[in-house]
Structure 1
Amino acid sequence: MFDFMKKKRRIVLNEQPEEEVKVTNSNVNLKKEYVSDILKSRKLPIVLLDPLWHTMRDSIQSDIIKAQEKNLKELLKEQGRLNNDYKEYSTVKQNFLKEILNLSGEVQVDGNSESIEALNKLHQSTVNINQKLEDIEKRISEVEVEIESANREIIEEMIAVGYEYIDVCKEKEIRLEREITQLREQMLLKTAEKKKCEKLLKDVYNYLHSIVGREQIEVIDRGLGDKK
């Protein structure tokens, strides 16, 4: 059983660990309960078969997702092996049934003891095959349930972590918008102050020109003006 409060959940932006955003476990857990209730009657696609999953899993990271992804991979492999085994045993069973049919005809004709013995062995082998097929069918059903459970856990966790990140981003967006507004106001004040200085500078030059003349001001400028 997972101890959610100790699990690491985080968002990694642009595949850069230094741009990692940690989300709050308690908030994620509440969101996950809600998501689970919404999705409980919905059939969900297997995430590992979705190409987009491999993009998102690098951004939305969680110990729960990591563990269940590993579990899901193993279950899918087992499911594949079971399906192959079922096909192979079914083929063997069909071959046994054909042999039983042929030997039954021979036994009815001549009652050969060797044929009877072979027929009995085939019957027993068929019984064993049927038991094997029954066991495989049972395990296939169990694996399907386990796959559905692991896959659902991954999806619910990813949605919950994703929405917690959305909330974190919204809060950050509001904070940044306030800062942008403050900077914009400061920029307007600085711009107004700059224009005021420019006007004063122009007025001073015009006044000085009117008193001593342009040529004298240019000489004074060379001596007292901008020095870089």
Structure 2
Amino acid sequence: MFSIFKKRNNKPNKKSNKKVNFDKKILRKNNISILVLDERWNSLFKNVEKTEKIIKLERELIELLKEESRLNSEYKDINVKKSKCLKRIVELTPQVFEENEEKARMEMEECEKNIKEINNRFKEIEKEIETIPDKIKDKNLELLESIVFTVYFKIRANQRRIKELEKLIEETKRNLEEYIDEKGRITEDDADIYTYFHDLIGKEELEKLDREYFGD
């Protein structure tokens, strides 16, 4: 688990609020899931407030994912258009070269022009698509670093509180045992006294005392 952290010197560790630097080479190999697409992501923030930086990185990561999706959709769409243009050129070939129809020739030229534009756009999209996965991965790791710092700072605070609660629980247990012992002693003493007076003065006189001191 801790191999993802970069090695530091051998000086004693001191708790601090300094940001931990991840070894991104190792994280890349670990194939970290896209955080904003992980259903467990939002559960991290039940008791931890998102910082402005986390919100900003989330937005940027989502935009990159949208851009990747948009480019893939565009690639498919223009590929369909290219196929239609190629099919139309095949259909127009007899009219252009055998019948020498001007209208067909103009339409063919328009199709060829569209194919050229589509091919150029293909190159642009392929270039963009090639770089986006790395951008997404880097942004995802940047988001991971930010959330780890925030969440682990919260965990550290929680651990301190847990230790405080453990002490309070132990103290309460001791107090409870003392209260139970005290209650037992008092109950036993009262029972002994009550039995003694019952034998000493009798039931009727004891009931008078009960009514006088404890009510009906």
State the 1:195 CA deviation.
Answer: 1.9
Amino acid at match of 2:66: K
How far is the alpha carbon of 1:103 from its aligned partner? 7.2
- The residue aligned with 1:62 is 50
CA distance in 2, matches of 1:98, 1:194: 97
1:35 and 1:217 map into 2 onto residues whose CA distance is 83
- Deviation readout 1:62-119 (Å, 9 max, x if unpaired): 2232112212222222222211221222233344445666778888879x69688877
Greater strand share, 1 or 2?
Answer: 1
Alignment partner of 1:211 out of 200, 206, 214: 200
Partner of 2:70: 81
Show the counterpart of 1:195. 184
Distance between the aligned counterparts of 1:117 and 1:219, measured in 2? 123
Task: Name the residue aligned to 2:209.
Answer: 220
Query: Per the alignment, in what secondary structure is the counterpart of residue 189 of structure 1?
Result: helix
**Within 2, Cα distance between the matches of 1:198 and 1:121?**
105
Q: Which runs of no fewer than 5 residues in structure 1 stay unpaired?
A: 1-23
Q: TM-score, normalised by structure 1?
A: 0.67
- Equivalences, count: 200
Give the C-alpha shift of residue 196 in structure 1: 1.9
Deviation string, structure 1 residues 151-204 (Cα, Å, up to 9, x no partner) = 233334334433333333222222111111111111111222222222222232
**Counterparts of 1:58 and 1:210, CA distance in 2:** 66
CA distance 1:25–1:58, shift in 2 (3 Å): farther
Measured after TM superposition, the shift of residue 51 of structure 1 is 3.4
Residues 95, 222 of structure 1: CA spacing in aligned structure 2 closer, same or farther, 3 A cutoff? closer
The percentage of aligned residue pairs carrying the same residue is: 26
Is 1:51 the counterpart of 2:42? The answer is no
Q: Which runs of 5+ in 2 are unaligned?
A: 1-14
Structure 1 segment 52-201 matched on structure 2, within 5 A: 52-63=40-51, 64-98=53-87, 125-201=114-190
Measured in 1, the distance between the counterparts of 2:206 and 2:29 equals 87
